[in-house]
Amino acid sequence: MRRDAATWYGYLLLGFFTYLLNIQGNILPFLRAELELGYRAAALHSSAIALGMILIGLVGERVIRRLGRARGLAFGSAGAALAAVALCLARAAAASIAACFVMGFCGALIASVTPAMLADIHGRHRDRALAELGAACYAFAVLAPLAMGASLALGFGWRGAVLMGVAIGILILLVGRAARVPESAVNADRRGRLPAIYWVYWVLLALVVAIEFSALLWAPAFLEIVVGLSPATAASTAALFALAMLVGRSAGSAVVGRIAAHRLYAGALLVTLAGFALYWAGAGPLLAVPGLFVLGLGTALLYPLTLGVALEAAGPNGVAASARFMLAIGVAILTAPFLLGDLADRIGLEAAHLVIPALALLALGGLGLARGLERRLAVARATR
């Protein structure tokens, strides 16, 4: 697979947005203290990002068609960078929440354009390109907390880490602006309906993103409260999930294309369930810590694989399909971690974590439904 300048441009720009997303958890404690916010008001920042992504899911197709891919990437990157600067300058909750909304909206433009662009560039190697895209994003996800730690140690505060991300984004934008970003290769102005099979994969996308963010956001609390680690140890150990995601997506990019996507998908879900069983087994850190790593390995390929099969199902309507991804991702980020937290208040954090295997089992069922629909379509085409 040949990686041209536009491929690297897409990898790095979406990585930049991932950096801004993943540093939010490190920022919130400082915002709470500076702006004297409660937990509910602090949570509105991540909700605002998700709402911006949902809005792109609703109108992104029209925005991208009007701007084109190249300008859409530039507008999204510049807007996300300016929103991050506005977050650093905010002196009231209304301003910081508004900045997060703009960040989610503009950053989602990058995430809407990139998968469809890579699919057009790489054709039959699409799944491998999307797996590499996921690995690049998690490299930036791991960089975010490291940058925060370095910024705090050097006395630059949380704003130093955010502005470092802004500088990275602007550098990528400046260096990559010469890349020849292809516009939609097929039927650029087509506005056909997305097929039913696409919407099955759309639901699968929401489910796997919900698994990822539920584990990512609640692992520190689970390791502290349920497993019994100290707060500092729990926080550092939770990074194993992100590390496993990075390892899984990096290694998976070599496997994707050699194994049928649906078999690989089912295998990844089974590894996810096995990892969760170890993580949740209740035998202390000896099982929970490696279980968290296995859980991350299993989850790693679910997102890029879903993007690949959904884009294939969408056919010539890739622009619309890619924009609708943001709706699924935004809804998952907005609802799943909140649902787990709400259940934790009602039945305890350990029992509430059973949401994760429930989501994985639903995804297995959805995969079976998708395969059944694809077989019916294949038979229908063969009998015409």
pLDDT tens for each residue of 39-64: 667 778 888 998 999 999 888 888 88
Measured distance CA(80)–CA(56) in Å, rounded: 13
Q: What is the pLDDT of residue 191?
A: 53
Q: What is the pLDDT of residue 146?
A: 82
Measured distance CA(370)–CA(238) in Å, rounded: 33
Measured distance CA(301)–CA(130) in Å, rounded: 9
Measured distance CA(39)–CA(45) in Å, rounded: 10
Which amino acid, 96? Answer: S
For 192-225, give one letter per residue: b (16+ CB within 10 A) or e: eebbebbbbbbbbbbbbbbbbbbbbbbbbbbbbb
Q: In whole angstroms, what separates CA 40 from the centre of its chain? A: 23
Which amino acid, 109? Answer: L
Measured distance CA(20)–CA(13) in Å, rounded: 11
Q: What is the pLDDT of residue 209?
A: 92
> Which parts of the chain register pLDDT below 50?
186-190
pLDDT tens for each residue of 77-105: 999 999 999 999 999 999 999 999 999 99
- Start-to-end C-alpha separation, the chain: 35
Q: What is the pLDDT of residue 294?
A: 96
Please choose, from the candidates 105, 103, 87, the residue with its C-alpha nearest in 3D space to the C-alpha of residue 95. Answer: 87
Residue 124 DSSP symbol: G
CB atoms within 10 A of CB 146: 11
CB contact at 8 A, 19 and 140: yes
What are the structural domains of the chain?
1-185 (1.20.1250.20), 187-384 (1.20.1250.20)
Q: What is the pLDDT of residue 102?
A: 96
Please choose, from the candidates 152, 169, 206, the residue with its C-alpha nearest in 3D space to the C-alpha of residue 85. Answer: 169
Residue 283 DSSP symbol: S
Q: What is the pTM of this model?
A: 0.79
